[in-house]
Structure 1
Amino acid sequence: MTSFGDLLGPPPTLLTGDDEAESDLLNGVAPATVAAGSPTASIAWAYLAEAALEGVDDSAAAAGDVPPEVVAAYAYARTGYHRGLDQLRKHGWKGYGPVPWEHQQNQGFLRCVGALARAAKIIGEEDEYLRCLDLLNDCDPRAAENVGL
């Protein structure tokens, strides 16, 4: 049984993460330095995307005054999202099935999806925003709430 109660579904995908990148981030190394040194670590891209979105007034930006930080966040989040997809596939994920939030090493990918959703909504890319929400809900129904969506 999957962690979401589906008897016929695939088992949860649990990423192994990047211990060095995660440790560096926890020890205060700049996320850009970590991303440059460990470009496959979604968690570093999540830190960059979330920092770029920090303090952005979503409603003002959505009204047409889009700060460059939102575009940067979109790019960071998309990079982390794609790096996360690569990792998920290496761990046997077939594009569906649980990717539990509670598994800490999955959070970099899920946080990137959340940041991508927020940035997409701000710039008016509604289809991308909805795709990201669907992906978060498919991965773990609690993920959207955990990333602030």
Structure 2
Amino acid sequence: MTEHPVGFSAQGPPETVLAPEPSHAQAALAAALDVGDPAAQRDAVAAVVARWPRYLDAWARLGELARDDVEAYAYFRVAYHRGLDRLRQSGWRGSGYVRWAHDENRGFLRALDGLRRLAGRIGERDEEQRCSEFLLQLEPAWERIDHD
């Protein structure tokens, strides 16, 4: 059984909230993101990923700090697939909302958006379109949210 069950309501599709990361992992990522030098920041975030390889936001942030598009695409793809696993473990059955309003969901949504952007950059237009549609299914307000 999961700690964050899928919520059903008469108002629409179910909503899934991922379990939070350990507070010490969150603190480590925050400290890594505060490192000033870009190369050192990337290395610090990579160390967080190495210590907590299931930490979706750490993978997504590593994608944002990647040295090139192919590297970024790979990091976002890892985060996306790990995120699908985490969603399923949280009771998600392939449909329903995964809202940005819940901090716990932001790593997955950030990864999916990163995968969408990078798929477009490397010429994977079909994947870019699928990711865009999936993102809007999970969070219909995505295009109106300040998600930086």
Category of TM-score, reference length = shorter chain: 0.7 to 0.9
The two structures have a TM-score, normalised by structure 2, of 0.79
Aligned to 2:60: 46
Tell me how far apart the structure 1 counterparts of residues 147 and 126 of structure 2 sit (CA, whole Å): 19
Aligned to 1:24: 28
Aligned to 2:16: 13
Decide whether the 8 Å contact of 1:97 with 1:138 is kept in 2: yes
Q: CA deviation at 1:107?
A: 0.3
| Structure 2 gaps, min length 5 | 1-5, 34-43
Give SS of 1:83's match: helix
Tell me how far apart the structure 2 counterparts of residues 96 and 89 of structure 1 sit (CA, whole Å): 10
Decide whether the 8 Å contact of 1:110 with 1:143 is kept in 2: no
Q: CA deviation at 1:9?
A: 2.2
Q: What per-residue deviation string (whole Å, max 9, x for no partner) do you get for residues 57-101 of structure 1?
A: xxxxxxxxxxx6100000000000111111100000011100010
Give SS of 2:65's match: helix
Tell me how far apart the structure 2 counterparts of residues 134 and 35 of structure 1 sit (CA, whole Å): 28
| Structure 1 gaps, min length 5 | 53-67
Q: Which stretch shows the higher mean deviation, 87-96 or 27-36? A: 27-36
Decide whether the 8 Å contact of 1:21 with 1:44 is kept in 2: no
Which amino acid in the other structure matches residue 36 of structure 1? Answer: A
Q: What per-residue deviation string (whole Å, max 9, x for no partner) do you get for residues 100-132 of structure 1?
A: 101001000000001101100001100100111
Moved over 6 A (4+): none
Which is richer in strand? 2
The two structures have a TM-score, normalised by structure 1, of 0.79
Q: Which stretch shows the higher mean deviation, 25-34 or 107-116? A: 25-34
Tell me how far apart the structure 2 counterparts of residues 42 and 140 of structure 1 sit (CA, whole Å): 17
- RMSD, matched Cα: 2.2
Q: How many residues align?
A: 130
Q: CA deviation at 1:143?
A: 2.6
